[in-house]
Structure 1
Amino acid sequence: MKTLVCNCNHTMPLDGPQLTAALGQTIEPHSQLCRREIVRFQRAAQSTEPLLVACTQEAKLFAALAAQTEGVPPPDVRPIRFVNIRETAGWSREAKAASPKIAALLAAAALPEPEPVPTASYHSAGRCLVIGDTESLDMARKLLADGLELTLLDTGRPGGRAAPAALPLQHEHPVHAGRVRSVRGWLGAFEVDIESANPVDLDVCTRCNACLAACPEGAIGLDYQIDLQRCTGHRDCVQACGAIGAIDFNRGPRADTLQVDLVLDLQPQPSLSLHQPPQGYYVPGSDPLALVRAATELRDLKGSFDKPRFFQYDAKLCAHSRNTLLGCHACIDICSAQAVHSRARLRPDQTPPIAEADSILPTAAQKKPFVEQIEIDPHLCVGCGACTTVCPTGALTYAYPRAPEIGARLRTLLLTAQRAGLKRPALLFHSQEAGAELIGQLGRLAAADPRVRGLPAHVIAVPLWHIASVGMELWLSAFSWGAAEILVLSDNTEAPAYLHALQGQMQLTETLLHGMGYRGARLRLLQTADARELDALLAPPRPTGAVPSIQAQFAALPQKRGTLDLALDHLIRHAPAQEVASGAAVIPLPHGAGSPLGAIRVDASRCTLCLSCVGACPAGALADNPLAPQLRFIEKNCVQCGLCVKTCPEDAIRLEPRLLWGPQRSAPQVLNEAQPWRCVRCGKPFGTVQAIEQMVVKLSGHPAFAGDAANRLKMCSDCRVIDMHTRADTTIHDLP
């Protein structure tokens, strides 16, 4: 790949020889690539060799020039890539030491683009519902009327104002009055249920004002709605309206469903209060500038649009439900867009009763044929990736980019920086929009204000679609590849649940690292939307704790737990704590932090070895022994979903978050065993002594096991059947 770098008119130092040595290609820094030296760009662009330009400031100019230059391959044949090294490295107090970081950024930018994934499609004809009081509707109408097909919903007089604003006299748009009952859908497919109880039907009203003149109480205003608290029942307005028929006091509340493509909600309390509303649903609040921005974006939302399906789901790995019991529901709890939900599905080998075939949720009689499964609506998903981060099994994985692609970028950044001479690099994860803008502001401040440090030379910025999309397994992998610190930048616009989940993941990760002997603060969540405050947050001394003596060479896997095991194995093998490095690691983990690692504890005095927990375990961590009454456990497979705890009828199981490392982690452990009961008729072992004795006690009063029939409880299944038939034959022969 051909790489062009520019020191932006000598405002940042670039070490060509050092970059050349680190990247294995000749790097000749330019000073005015976008102006005086533009011909060098044109020559490079005419080549069929892949081209990387280390400038995002003038990316639009370069792209336009390439399109106008003869002999330049079209973008679909050879796209030109751009990467920012100015604000992220060159404009900093430590710019002279930033060459290793610049080399890392250039190397990562040269990696292949993420593989394409399926998309979710939206189709919008520009039908927009505006919800609000009369005044806000009038403002929105003026902003949107010439670009969209509007429907107005007047929600009534705003509190604290005696006189409502006037509806427009021209009947240009459908107008409804009432309240919103519910909103469903997304861009191009919204369904809004509304209800109106006012006697005036605004869609029929001609704005003739006859009712205003006729009303003796002045209960009707220019919003053409009746203030029912002031109205005393003269009904002069009905007579004045006459044949138009817009006023009817006998009409009950009217319900209607509006099907629209876009929604602009101007209510003080919006109908959808989600932190991340569906695409196409705008809640600008009371800020006029926010309303203008929303109107601008709404006007552009006509046509067809595609977005990546950001997730992949493997139901076979999911620990959400077994045997009608719900276990892990972390993905449902964390989703701020309500794109993840649980739905009853028919098992492939079952057929529902005919009368219940169309039922969505199982009735009591249907519970067995159905299983609860996670469903994700790709139209509501915003790609935050938080569900994949908290998923303990890897049933949900981030798809764009995939985990191996993210891992390849992190590994390239770290190994290139270290090869170029950077000791103890740190990674700064940030969103590729707000976070990138904040880092850009920091760089510009550092270039203009000597009091501002800018991004330190050892801190490598890593843009993500969303900061919640990367969690513990990739953080630990980054430490295995040589990172000394992980920083995550939040601009305080993320959902609180996302930040809580990230803090929980950080707590688990630091507990693991400290347990291995990697002391010191290794992970930090930086919460700020101010560039100067970010500068101060980046100022503390660099961590000085131990790092692995050898950088790992493994690549991130598509399977989350596979990547996690590779990272843990490398970190433990090179751990400063010798008892851990020797393979005898037992690291307790905090409860309540959503640990995907751990064991279970079984109270042998309560456990009857009924093995219901074995059938409930979705990960194969619990198993029986076909040769003896035993409950066995493989700790490596346990995801701490809690289904075994909920299934156990004796309340004998407890979860224990921890990391056990060594050969015993993959070997079956016996959690409980018992003496087998032997059939009183044939002597064959079956069940356990404890279980049979409890069953005899519990069923002693049952008529089916009265008298000698109680011995059937002590027989194996074959002998029980023989005994029942023998007694039946005896009874028949004894009849007179």
Structure 2
Amino acid sequence: MSQKLVCNCNGTMPLDSKVLGMPIHTALCRQEVGLAMKAMNGDEELIIACTQESALFSELAEQSEKALVAPLRFVNIREIAGWTQEAKISGPKISALLALADMPEAEPVPVVNYESQGRLLIIGSGDQALSWAEKLSSSLDVSVLCTEPGALPIARNFPTYTGAVTKLDGYLGQFAVDWELQNPIDPEMCTRCGACVEVCPEGAIDDAFQINLDKCKSHRACVTACAGIGAIAFDRVDRKRSSEFDVIMDLRINPQMRMSQTPQGYFAPGPDPLKQALVANQLLALVGEFEKPKYFAYDQKVCAHGRNGKVGCNACIDACSTGAISSLFKNGQGSVEVNPNLCMGCGACATVCPSGAMRYNYPSVAHQGKELKLLANVFGAESAKFKQAVTPSLLLHTLTVGTQLMDSLGRSAHLRPKQFDGLPSYVLPYGIEHIASTGLDLWLGALAYGFGEVILLLTGDEDPSYRAALEEQCALGNAILAAYGFDSRIALIQLDSIHDLQTVSSAMAKLRQRGPLPAVCSPASFGLGNQKRETIEAVLEHLQKQAKTPLPAAGVVLPSSSFLGGLKINQDACTLCMSCVGSCPEGALLDNLDEPKLSFIEKQCVQCGICVQTCPEQALVLAPRLLTVEQRKQKVEINETKPFHCVSCGKVFGTSKMIDLMLIKLGAHSAFSGEALERLKMCSDCRVVDMVNKE
């Protein structure tokens, strides 16, 4: 356990030392700072319940007489509890937050490396791009691609190109840019001697050293004047250019990369001078070696992307806004490939993955599950000390912007309580790397641990595809809860921007007026695992035991986006060719070595649809639904037929349905008339023998 220092911030928080079970300080960062310094020289890990003065305390720790046992940790209780309208009854929340701060950190994850030598390409109109190149060329290896003419500097201190960008991809340290030279003058060859300007009768060339083709009358005097240099060619064939750069500054109104999360090293401030200046400062720091976490883990063995040349699940590819995930087929087997340098850690791929092949790893669901279980248990235990126990609600938010929003809301609620509402006493905020990284395994797991509801806070900076994915997954989660007789417990709060305090304040006011919801079930004891399907199965079994209404024998229909479900089969159309068995990536469809039977285990099915696409008779249809846990585990025979024996040797070589269908389809063809039709009823060996004997 660690030592915790809690301060009521000059008496502005009504904290009760008896309720919290620890001393409450008043001016820990000022008059009582000596107490903090004394604690730093102690033998325990130290948690300080103040994030505002974290810089001060960290500096004091560096100056302490002896090294700290462990790095200082900070937790904010002021803006999210002590400065709210329900501060006096927020003791259980504060205890839970302090306990969370005491949890061990997540296991470290692998890192992704970048290396930049400072090769900067500035793209945009000549006037702006060249101006910034002049400013930055002393610190960076600058090149300029002018998409619109601009006065070229006399000194050739940096390469200058002109033309239109045709391709731009890559990431910090490895950008590849293709462009096409569109003007007869190649600025890289031009010496700025001005001979062409002097001889042009139309004045079609100015100090940008680009020919205005609208003015040019094709006298070609400029070509003659530049003959010794060769920078001007009206009939130039090779106009394509390409090069590699470490960082990109794109000043165009319509930048090349328009995704919500652009790759590391790509900046698109547009024509705004202030934004350009801010980006210029960032560029100066992008020289050297850098690293970031590898946010994901991928298990190809359970991926349902493709099989036998057929594409099944595309969920992760469709959800990724950075273009980091691509399809990969090898020998007919499909998988996905993730470029870790392009991955920005949103985690939407893991959220929508039906099989758990794509897993978010920063931190893992297993670690998050431990933290949520602790939050629920501590809050529940502290709440039970009062006359009426209260069930907590979980508020998930993106760690960086969500924390800023919580701080702004708490401060506004403290200073203007009649205008803004802070977090209710029963709402526990929980920051994650990105709001899109959380999915049904965590949401349903939180409900199983005793949270009354799960609320996702979207702050307006998310890609639209992320919002759509989260809305879809929320609808699916609530449909699963409804199947067990529970009301909706997973909700979204969508803001227009991080500054939209009024919307989030109104949402908190409604929650405060409504009050806490009861838990949907008694708290579960199991832990959440890294295998998504196994975690969800454990949660479903827990919910089923305490369901308000039992599931009907036929199950409950779920939305089409569901990764839970079965198959409907047209037994008359199915020939039991077993092509679906070979295509199923999860082993949900099974054949029988002894007799023609097709079996199905619904628990294994992820609703990828490859079997539907593979079936030559179009006899299969996906059936998103929820059956009981027991039903889903059973192996069920969904079709069977009699084996067909060779009419010559008696060996089994197919099914009766298959042969009947073949006779129907081929019987009318002239090539299979008479004795040839009878050969269709023979195995391959007997067919050859019969043909040889007849000849």
| TM-score (norm: length of structure 2) | 0.94
Report the equivalent of 2:260: 275
Report the equivalent of 1:130: 122
Deviation string, structure 1 residues 317-337 (Cα, Å, up to 9, x no partner): 000010001000111111000
Question: Is 1:674 aligned to 2:641, yes or no?
Answer: yes
Greater displacement, 285-294 / 659-668: 285-294
Give the direction of change, closer, same or farther, for the CA distance of 1:696–1:381 in structure 2 (3 Å limit).
same
Give the direction of change, closer, same or farther, for the CA distance of 1:216–1:188 in structure 2 (3 Å limit).
same
| Matching residue within 189, 209, 212 for 2:197 | 212
Give the direction of change, closer, same or farther, for the CA distance of 1:563–1:143 in structure 2 (3 Å limit).
farther
What CA distance in whole angstroms lies between the structure 1 residues aligned with 2:87 and 2:554?
A: 42
Counterpart amino acid of residue 119 in structure 2: R
What CA distance in whole angstroms lies between the structure 2 residues aligned with 1:611 and 1:13?
A: 70
Counterpart amino acid of residue 721 in structure 1: D
What CA distance in whole angstroms lies between the structure 1 residues aligned with 2:652 and 2:106?
A: 58
| Matching residue within 175, 194, 201 for 2:186 | 201
Shift of 1:59: 1.2
Report the equivalent of 1:636: 603
Shift of 1:538: 1.9
Question: Is 1:371 aligned to 2:333, yes or no?
Answer: yes
Local SS of the residue matching 1:256 = strand
Deviation string, structure 1 residues 188-243 (Cα, Å, up to 9, x no partner): 11111121021212123233334333322121122221111210112233344453
What CA distance in whole angstroms lies between the structure 1 residues aligned with 2:189 and 2:488?
A: 71
Shift of 1:142: 5.0
Shift of 1:684: 4.6
Shift of 1:597: 0.3
Report the equivalent of 1:113: 105
Local SS of the residue matching 1:538 = helix
Shift of 1:622: 0.8
Query: 1:197–1:253: 8 Å Cα contact kept in structure 2?
Result: no
What CA distance in whole angstroms lies between the structure 1 residues aligned with 2:553 and 2:567?
A: 19
Report the equivalent of 2:544: 572
Deviation string, structure 1 residues 451-506 (Cα, Å, up to 9, x no partner): 12212211111111100000111101111111112111112111111000000000
**Structure-to-structure mapping, 1:55-454, within 5 angstroms:** 55-73=50-68, 78-157=70-149, 165-241=150-226, 243-345=228-330, 369-421=331-383, 423-451=390-418, 452-454=420-422
Report the equivalent of 1:470: 438
Query: 1:520–1:543: 8 Å Cα contact kept in structure 2?
Result: no
Query: 2:80–2:410: 8 Å Cα contact kept in structure 1?
Result: yes
Greater displacement, 607-616 / 525-534: 525-534
What CA distance in whole angstroms lies between the structure 2 residues aligned with 1:142 and 1:326?
A: 51
Give the direction of change, closer, same or farther, for the CA distance of 1:546–1:102 in structure 2 (3 Å limit).
closer
Structure 1, unpaired ranges of 5+: 21-26, 158-164, 346-368, 732-736
What CA distance in whole angstroms lies between the structure 2 residues aligned with 1:409 and 1:619?
A: 31
Shift of 1:638: 0.8
What CA distance in whole angstroms lies between the structure 2 residues aligned with 1:57 and 1:279?
A: 29
Greater displacement, 427-436 / 496-505: 427-436
| Matching residue within 479, 485, 510 for 2:478 | 510
Shift of 1:141: 2.5
Shift of 1:512: 1.1
Question: Is 1:563 aligned to 2:555, yes or no?
Answer: no
Greater displacement, 106-115 / 537-546: 537-546
Report the equivalent of 1:527: 495
What CA distance in whole angstroms lies between the structure 1 residues aligned with 2:517 and 2:75?
A: 32
Query: 2:598–2:640: 8 Å Cα contact kept in structure 1?
Result: yes
Query: 1:143–1:295: 8 Å Cα contact kept in structure 2?
Result: no
Shift of 1:685: 4.5
Give the direction of change, closer, same or farther, for the CA distance of 1:333–1:490 in structure 2 (3 Å limit).
same
Report the equivalent of 2:386: none
Greater displacement, 268-277 / 255-264: 268-277
Shift of 1:445: 0.7
Shift of 1:130: 0.2
Report the equivalent of 1:361: none
Shift of 1:709: 4.5
What CA distance in whole angstroms lies between the structure 2 residues aligned with 1:575 and 1:106?
A: 33
What CA distance in whole angstroms lies between the structure 2 residues aligned with 1:546 and 1:51?
A: 35
Give the direction of change, closer, same or farther, for the CA distance of 1:380–1:125 in structure 2 (3 Å limit).
same
What CA distance in whole angstroms lies between the structure 2 residues aligned with 1:189 and 1:94?
A: 52
Counterpart amino acid of residue 552 in structure 1: A
Report the equivalent of 1:43: 38
Greater displacement, 697-706 / 133-142: 697-706
Counterpart amino acid of residue 145 in structure 1: S
Deviation string, structure 1 residues 319-364 (Cα, Å, up to 9, x no partner): 001000100011111100000001233xxxxxxxxxxxxxxxxxxx
What CA distance in whole angstroms lies between the structure 2 residues aligned with 1:117 and 1:547?
A: 34
Local SS of the residue matching 1:243 = coil
Deviation string, structure 1 residues 344-391 (Cα, Å, up to 9, x no partner): 33xxxxxxxxxxxxxxxxxxxxxxx34232100000000100001100
Shift of 1:608: 1.0
Give the direction of change, closer, same or farther, for the CA distance of 1:248–1:680 in structure 2 (3 Å limit).
closer
Query: 2:443–2:490: 8 Å Cα contact kept in structure 1?
Result: no
What CA distance in whole angstroms lies between the structure 1 residues aligned with 2:488 and 2:662?
A: 55
Shift of 1:704: 7.7
Report the equivalent of 1:350: none
Question: Is 1:724 aligned to 2:688, yes or no?
Answer: yes
What CA distance in whole angstroms lies between the structure 2 residues aligned with 1:730 and 1:682?
A: 17
Question: Is 1:30 aligned to 2:25, yes or no?
Answer: yes
Query: 2:325–2:339: 8 Å Cα contact kept in structure 1?
Result: yes
Local SS of the residue matching 1:433 = helix
What CA distance in whole angstroms lies between the structure 1 residues aligned with 2:592 and 2:333?
A: 27
Query: 2:92–2:378: 8 Å Cα contact kept in structure 1?
Result: yes
Query: 1:6–1:54: 8 Å Cα contact kept in structure 2?
Result: yes
**Structure-to-structure mapping, 1:651-662, within 5 angstroms:** 651-662=618-629
Shift of 1:7: 1.4
What CA distance in whole angstroms lies between the structure 1 residues aligned with 2:361 and 2:629?
A: 32
What CA distance in whole angstroms lies between the structure 1 residues aligned with 2:432 and 2:74?
A: 16
Counterpart amino acid of residue 140 in structure 2: L
Local SS of the residue matching 2:510 = coil
Report the equivalent of 2:19: 18
Counterpart amino acid of residue 649 in structure 1: P
Report the equivalent of 1:490: 458
Local SS of the residue matching 1:498 = helix
Query: 2:454–2:489: 8 Å Cα contact kept in structure 1?
Result: no
Query: 2:351–2:436: 8 Å Cα contact kept in structure 1?
Result: yes
Question: Is 1:599 aligned to 2:599, yes or no?
Answer: no
What CA distance in whole angstroms lies between the structure 1 residues aligned with 2:134 and 2:181?
A: 25
Give the direction of change, closer, same or farther, for the CA distance of 1:549–1:653 in structure 2 (3 Å limit).
closer
Report the equivalent of 1:458: 426
RMSD over aligned Cα, in angstroms?
2.1
What CA distance in whole angstroms lies between the structure 2 residues aligned with 1:590 and 1:29?
A: 51
Counterpart amino acid of residue 133 in structure 1: S
Query: 2:116–2:286: 8 Å Cα contact kept in structure 1?
Result: yes
Query: 2:521–2:543: 8 Å Cα contact kept in structure 1?
Result: no
Shift of 1:686: 4.6
Query: 1:385–1:468: 8 Å Cα contact kept in structure 2?
Result: yes
Shift of 1:701: 6.4
Report the equivalent of 1:358: none
What CA distance in whole angstroms lies between the structure 1 residues aligned with 2:579 and 2:474?
A: 34
